[in-house]
Structure 1
Amino acid sequence: MKVKVQTLDGKAAKGAELELNDEVFAVEPRADILHRVVTWQLEKRRATARGTRERADVARTGKKFGRQKGGGTARHGDRRAPVFIGGGKAHGARVRDFNPGLNKKVRALGLRMALSSHAKAGSLIVLDNLAIDAKTKALTESFTKLGVGKTLVIDGDAVETNFALAAGNLHTVNVLPAIGANVYDILKHDTLVLTRAAVEKLEARFNG
């Protein structure tokens, strides 16, 4: 499929059309695959609590330390009980595994489907490059000309420095290098902006 290549000013760039690889940008999206990949990503982000020592984990004596009757206190027989200082924690936090697995082929397919979903919806914009002065006002005007809303911008090996500085003050614009492209971030934005370098890197990622 062919797309128009623009500049940040919304004008046609030199070499105004770019041929996109259909195996990357023209895959029919499937909700079940996208759901699996997004769920996997969010589960991978979860951090587990530090496990606490419960009654069985505390190293204290189990010997009965008082008489059963006549002591005037409760009939305890174990210093590891939660009511004592230094005893085990009652119903403490336990280490849980939030590190699910997902087949690499499914993850790759999900990313291709996420990219294709924007191409199919017409919300994919390809820019020649991200060269701009490090001014947020100038970048805001550029995005106004492009007519975009909540936007994810993906560049090549690294995001152009001035662009990253200018976009840092815009809460509707997020930037990523090509290596950081992922299904969750792509799907949660209304518009996907790729540079020529990003397209080359993404296509090489799947063809390699």
Structure 2
Amino acid sequence: MKVNVKTLEGKANGDVELSDAVFGVEPRADILHRVVTWQLENRRGTARPTRERSDVARTGKKYGNQKGGGTARHGDRKAPIFTGGGKAHGARKRDFDISLPKKIRALGLKMALSSKAQNDNIVVLDSLEMKDAKTKVLLSNFEKLGFGRKVLVIDGESVDEGFRKASGNLIGVDVLPAIGANVYDILNHDTLVLTKSAVEKLEARFNG
């Protein structure tokens, strides 16, 4: 699959051949759903439990007489009705660390990239280097390129520092290195922007 390469100023700069093994996979909703669910579940922290009657460190001694005291016959201070006692029917600990095979994760990423390529929502740039790394200049360049409201930009080994600073104040623009590419972020943006370096890194990631 051939895609035109553009400069950050919107000018044509040749083309690049995208691997069909990475950008030409037929997307499947069930695979994408499994990977996105796995990502979002693993973002959740462990639900903290409350301390129930057996978890509270209080005396277990019977503090009153069985009869004649004028009070109920409680056995210890751990009962939920006392201040400092255990919680009755409290929240239990819940872990959200689910597992997913590496093959499914890799397949999901290929399908996410392919879905953007098939819908013409993928743009390949020569590089992210800017002579004048300012937000105003970058916004003007984005308008020339005709990007949507939500843009995900993926660079190679690391993101160009000038571009990162210039894009920091742009709402809806997120920037990642190639190693951080993931299914949720790709699907959650209207336009996927890859540098030539990012294309090489992603293809090398799946080719061994």
Cα deviation, 1:62-103, whole Å, max 9, x if unaligned, reads 332212333222321121112323322233333211000101
Which 4+ stretches in 1 moved above 6 angstroms? none
* Length-normalised TM-score, structure 1: 0.95
Q: Which amino acid aligns with 2:53?
A: R
- Distance between the aligned counterparts of 1:70 and 1:144, measured in 2? 86
Q: Determine whether 1:157 maps to 2:148.
A: no
Within 5 A, what are the aligned runs for 1:79-118? 79-118=77-116
Q: Is the 8 A contact 2:7 2:125 kept in 1?
A: yes
Cα distance in structure 2, aligned partners of 1:197 and 1:30: 27
CA distance, structure 1, for counterparts of residue 194 and residue 175 of structure 2: 10
Structure 1 letter corresponding to 2:19: N
Taking the TM superposition and a 5 Å limit, the aligned residue runs for 1:159-174 are: 159-174=159-174
**Deviation digits for residues 109-131 of structure 1 (CA, Å, limit 9, x no counterpart):** 00000000000000000000001
Percent pairwise identity: 72
> In the TM superposition, what whole-angstrom CA distance separates every residue of 1:157-207 from its partner, at most 9, and x where no partner exists?
111001000100001210000010000000010000000010010000000
Cα pair 2:47 2:95 within 8 Å, conserved: no
Q: What's the Cα RMSD here?
A: 1.3
Partner of 1:10: 10
Classify the secondary structure of the residue corresponding to 2:33. helix
Worse-matched range after superposition: 114-123 or 130-139: 130-139
Q: How many angstroms does 1:10 deviate by? A: 1.1
Matched residue SS, 1:29: coil
Structure 1 CA distance for aligned equivalents of residues 155 and 72 of structure 2: 69
Counterpart in the other structure of 2:196? 196
Aligned residues: 206
Q: 1:177 aligns to what? A: 177
Measured in 1, the distance between the counterparts of 2:91 and 2:196 equals 49
Task: Give the TM-score normalised by the residue count of structure 2.
Answer: 0.95
Greater mean alpha carbon deviation, residues 48-57 or residues 194-203:
48-57
Letter in 1 for 2:194: L
Separation (CA, whole Å) in 2 of partners of 1:188 and 1:65:
61
Can you give the 5+ residue segments of structure 2 that lack an aligned partner in the other structure? none
